[in-house]
Structure 1
Amino acid sequence: MRIARWLDGTQVREGFVEGPDVIPFPDGRSVASVLAEGLDAAHTLHARAVGDPGAGRRPLGEVRLLAPVTPPSVRDFVSFEEHVEGVSAGVEGKSHVAAEWYEAPTFYFTNPHTILGPDEPVRPPVTERLDFELELAAVIGGVPGSDGANLDPLQAASHIFGYTIMNDWSARDLQAREMKVRLGPCKGKDFGTTLGPWIVTADELAPYLDDEGFLALRAEVRVNGEIIGEDLVSNMGWPFPELVAYASRNARVVPGDVLGSGTVGNGGCLGELWGRNGRLSPPPLAEGDEVSMTIDGIGDLTARVGAAVSAPELPPARRRPRSRVRD
């Protein structure tokens, strides 16, 4: 099944993508409620919708797709060793993967309030090093009797409702400055994450699973029609159920949560190539550039770079006297 959100005229609709058409969910359900009810209930709902001649079926080409989910949280992992090697060369001057990377799948939280949909332009901050990041993302669904906490990998697999493509836009110059404070990226990533074109349910991708549980999906990215990077998602260091299990450790994953794989290797972002090439080649993204991503079994996700948005200036930190009592 494919699940989507779309704009039909001025109205937001949510439902299934069935062949060349979209079909709204029965009974006014939303993507959020369908995710909460879980995959089995979604299959039952799908059968009802497809079999109802009065369901409001519309040609896909006559509506505008939106981001397929409005996530309560977005975790973004860094699970491709090859990506770490390339980016570290650009940041540290040499290719290096820290020993700690191998110990556990590291992630950071990014902004769920700046989610973008297919063909929606990204409006970056003022930056000289705008970059894309090609990722596959898991979308969490509900499982009866589970609160999503402290899952083992087998339990975690049942919480993966489906997958979508994720473009983690990055302002590398801002990111490089702020990460020197040792808290991870913030404004270098805060301005936009593109998801889409829809959610493909996990059962649809089962034929791509290899013997170790990795998804052997081909992923590629083009800028203005020229292929920049290509990789197999199965090159990630941990399969998705282990990422979900780690995210739930002493915490919870809840329906609608999005967990990005991290950037694929072999040119999944420009930053990796800049590190390997020792220069800004290919060049950073500029206004008007078109970034198109394709992942087997999911589809295509395309967006253009819009005009940068200037922000109000803030002063630097003040040197304070460190007094312990008020004057």
Structure 2
Amino acid sequence: MRLVTFQFVDRQPRVGVLLGSAVIDLAAAAPLVFEDPPQPPWSLLDVLGGVPDGMGLDGAAEIVAAVIDQIGGVDDEHLVLQSGSLMIGGVEMLIPLDEARLLPPLPRPSSLRCFESSEQHMAALARLHGGGIPYFWYERPLFAFGNHAAMYGSEAYVPLPRTVAFDYELEVACVIGRSGRDISPEEAGDYIAGYLLLNDWTARDVQREELIAGFAFSKSKDAATSIGPWLATPDELQEYALDDGQFNLTLIARVNGVEQSRGNLRDLTYSFAQMIAIASEGCTLFPGDMIACGAIGGSLLEATNGQGPWLEPDDLVELEAGGLGILRNRIVA
């Protein structure tokens, strides 16, 4: 499934599933499966947390199957909703995608942990402050907490913060689907609700000062994080899965249509399973917690050897990966 948060005719945000060129409103379609479900709207956090009781992603999949059955068993990859919406009980159940506005899949994650799992990017950060990669990075993955309240979706305008060195970071994040503590790498896959593209916007001039001062990244990444356009459940990436738990998935970053970065998830030093194990060590993870892997294939920091030019107002930044779509944002003053 490709889970989204969307708005339709200026109503409250709702959680849905992409079905070809349409969006299923899960709460509106829930009566096809559940007796007396809670009234819409629902959020993605509601679904991950089991609204209605015990629903989760399995319940969402049941709703999708029921909708497909309701409209005649059409192939969900090739559904084209010609015009208007399909309704159930007076509420729009199936909405044309071009009439819906996609928001961040998780408008406010429970938390955001920003790992640095790429040796290439760690080396670039080390050069930024004139040092080397610390030896302990090779012993375990490291992370800093990000601002989980500053999320932007695909097609959203991202305001330029006070910086002269604004940069993108080409990343993928996973979202936790159920609570767990001291999770082993072998069990970690059972806790992943899905994956999405993530752009960890960064002020490199501010970040350099934080690194030299010995602080974790904070203000340099405080202004914005973009995610989306959808949350892909693990089965959506099955064709890219490798035996070691990594993914043979190519990621590309473009600025104003020109490719600036290219990487592959298989090149991460640490897998998402290892990141989850570290994040849950002595700490409980909850549904909706987000774990970002760090820049893959780089950013302008690597592309320009830290010299710029950096992002400016009106620049269009696109991140793309198979199964995860295109995350597109324009910078504004």
TM over 0.5: yes
Give the superposition deviation at 1:52. Answer: 4.1
Superposition CA RMSD, Å: 1.6
Structure 1 residue 88 corresponds to structure 2 residue 132: no
1:151 partner SS: coil
> Separation in 2 of the partners of 1:289 and 1:18?
31
Query: In the TM superposition, what whole-angstrom CA distance separates every residue of 1:18-41 from its partner, at most 9, and x where no partner exists?
Result: 011001002434311211234333
CA contact (8 A) 1:90 1:272 kept: no
Contact 2:171–2:197 (8 Å) recurs in 1: yes
CA contact (8 A) 1:105 1:246 kept: yes
CA contact (8 A) 2:5 2:104 kept: yes
Compute the displacement of 1:86 (Å).
2.4
The letter of the residue matching 2:303 is: L
Instruction: Name the counterpart of 2:6.
Output: 6
TM-score w.r.t. length of structure 2: 0.85
Aligned residue number for residue 270 of structure 1: 300
Q: Which runs of 5+ in 2 are unaligned?
A: 31-36, 51-55, 72-86
Question: What amino acid sits opposite 2:301 in the alignment?
Answer: G
Q: Supply the AA of the counterpart residue of 2:17.
A: F
Deviation at 1:246, TM superposition (A): 1.1
- Once the two structures are TM-superposed, the CA of residue 221 in structure 1 deviates from its matched residue by 0.3
Return the alpha-carbon distance in structure 1 between the equivalents of residues 323 and 199 of structure 2: 17
Residue in structure 2 matching 1:58, options 95, 99, 119: 95
Look up the match of 1:317.
none
Give the Cα separation in 1 of the matches to 2:135 and 2:303.
22
Q: Does 1:225 align with 2:263?
A: no
Which residue in the other structure is 2:313 paired with?
287
**Cross-structure match for 1:207:** 239
Deviation at 1:303, TM superposition (A): 0.1
1:183, distance to aligned residue in structure 2 (A): 2.1
Give the partner amino acid of 1:120.
A
Cα distance between partner residues in 2 of 1:292 and 1:72:
25
User: 1:51, 1:77 → 2: CA distance?
Assistant: 42
The residue that corresponds to 1:257 in the other structure is 289
1:25-104 equivalent positions in 2, closer than 5 A:
25=26, 26=30, 27=37, 28=40, 29-37=42-50, 38-52=56-70, 54-55=87-88, 56-69=93-106, 70-92=108-130, 96-104=132-140
Query: Partners in 2 of 1:181 and 1:83 — Cα distance?
Result: 19
SS of residue matched to 1:305: strand
| Maintained 8 Å contact 1:286/1:305 | yes
Tell me, yes or no, if the aligned pair for 2:207 and 2:217 is still in contact at 8 Å: yes
User: Structure 1: which 5+ runs fail to align?
Assistant: 308-327
The normalised TM-score by structure 1 is: 0.86
Offset from partner CA, 1:227-267 (integer Å, 9 cap, x none): 001011110011111111111110011111111010002xx
Matches within 5 A, 1:136-175: 136-142=172-178, 147-175=179-207
Q: Please say if 1:110 is aligned against 2:153.
A: no
What is the Cα deviation at residue 204 of structure 1? 1.6
After the TM superposition, list the runs of 4 or more consecutive aligned residues in structure 1 that deviate by more than 4 angstroms.
none
Q: Which residue of 1 aligns with 2:332?
A: 306
Aligned pair count?
Answer: 295
Q: Secondary structure, in 3 states, of the residue corresponding to 2:278?
A: helix
Percent sequence identity is 35
CA distance in structure 2 between the aligned counterparts of 1:239 and 1:177, rounded to whole angstroms: 29
Paired with 1:183 and 1:122, the residues of 2 have a C-alpha distance of 25
Match of 2:272 among 237, 240, 263: 240
